[in-house]
Structure 1
Amino acid sequence: MSETTESTAGDRRSDFPRFRPATPPPVFGEFVETMRHLQDLTVAVDAPADVYATALAQAQALVETLEPYDAPEGRGPAGRVMDLPGRGSLLMPPWRVEKFDADGVRARGELRRYHLGGGGVAHGGVLPLLFDDNFGMVVYAARRPISRTAYLHVDYRKVTPLNTPLVIEGAVQSVDGRKTLIRSKLMDEDGTLLAEGEGLMVALLPGQP
């Protein structure tokens, strides 16, 4: 079982929950990667009816296996396993953080078939997710107060390829009271700029969720 949330479901600045990193059984990482592969296949396969029927029955059996263990936010390990790609969350693309300090945050990974938009490249809506996650980590690494995204802007410079090593890095640009302005870049490994993101993160007041 993974670790539970902190007893103070927030800090003195807000009621936003802060969760401890989880330490699930080693098999959890393989489980998450298998589920990612299943996501890729779900949007990729073109199968006959009997194959879909077999897969449906197996998926329903998997739901029955897992459903008794449905847990509240912060109890399940997904999103709290820092050494797994995407922190073990299926919501996040499977990227690994390789730099995390007050000067900025850099992560590296790929987008997969699940993230296909059309024409063999990533869906444009996936990139704001990448940038928003980067903004949140930059705020935390810079030791700024817990904040929520007030503004997020993405400039698309080139199409973003699938199954290609990519890098995202961001840093604090300015601070004004509760406001933290962050700028980030998404690039391929050769440094070709694919997209730029700007986010305004606003620190929560006491009692704000």
Structure 2
Amino acid sequence: MSADYGLDPRRVDPNYDRHGGFPVFEPADPGPGFARFLTAMRRLQDLAVSTNPDPDTWTDVAGQVEALVAQLDPFQSGEGVGPANRVPDLPGAGSLLMPPWIVDKFEPDEVLLRVTFSRYHVGGNDAVHGGVLPLLFDSLFGMVIHATGRPISRTAFLHVDYRKVTPVDVELNVRGWLREAEGRKAFVNAELRDADGNLLAESHGLMIRLLPGQP
């Protein structure tokens, strides 16, 4: 795997600081406790949408969660400071917002991921919610832009075609690549397949390089 999320964008975009001040996401090393925290939180998310305990249990766990919130609240930090989204070796780069993908390849020709959705991502009938896949593809498009060395860009549009039901609790493969580039425009494609190669969903989008001073 080759995935240098710590690449300083100023190396490929001398006007980076004039594009609205996006933070530079240097890799973080928060220690093994953060990985344990993420694992437990992902499991908690699954349980939060799949359990049906008695009212007293809800009251008890609510108190425990509130205590955890109180413990972490004093340590709030700005974007690009905390470890979320800055630990590329962890699922979803350490962000609970992101589906728990793992990067297998991060090169100019393509970016390859593996992802396993869980109960937390279900929209109905044990299928991944349709709104989760655009989040996955949009994140992948950003990786493709970074992997190809293009300047910082924003998503202009993203289109998703749903070909088959996306299942939970099985490992799936994701591929993204730059189809073509024209000036500020980068046309990006992506696809999601199961282990047998069946196409579950595919996406194409347009990423636009920011102008100087554009946030």
- TM-score, length-normalised on structure 2? 0.91
Aligned-partner Cα distance in 1 for 2:14–2:175: 27
Unaligned runs of 5+ in 1: 1-5
Unaligned runs of 5+ in 2: 1-7
Aligned to 2:47: 41
Matched residue of 1:185: which SS? strand
Aligned to 1:80: 86
Is structure 2 residue 63 aligned with structure 1 residue 57? yes
* 1:38-71 CA-partner distances (Å, limit 9, x unpaired): 0000000011000000000000000110001011
Aligned-partner Cα distance in 2 for 1:40–1:11: 43
Aligned-partner Cα distance in 2 for 1:11–1:59: 44
The answer to whether the 8 A contact 1:120-1:161 is kept is yes
Matched residue of 2:196: which SS? coil
Q: What one-letter code is carried by the residue in structure 2 that aligns with 1:153?
A: H
- Alignment of structure 1 residues 10-25 onto 2, 5 Å: 12-13=15-16, 14-15=19-20, 16-25=22-31
**Residue 127 of structure 1: which of 109, 125, 133 is its match?**
133
Q: What's the CA shift for 1:11?
A: 5.4
Aligned to 1:152: 158
Q: What one-letter code is carried by the residue in structure 2 that aligns with 1:207?
A: G
The answer to whether the 8 A contact 2:23-2:79 is kept is no
Q: What's the CA shift for 1:19?
A: 1.7
The answer to whether the 8 A contact 1:11-1:18 is kept is no
Aligned-partner Cα distance in 2 for 1:207–1:48: 54
Q: What's the CA shift for 1:18?
A: 2.2
- TM-score, length-normalised on structure 1? 0.94
Aligned to 2:206: 200
RMSD: 1.3
* 1:93-113 CA-partner distances (Å, limit 9, x unpaired): 111000100001010020010
**Residue 97 of structure 2: which of 74, 79, 91 is its match?**
91
Identity percentage of aligned residues:
53
The answer to whether the 8 A contact 1:94-1:110 is kept is yes
Matched residue of 1:129: which SS? helix
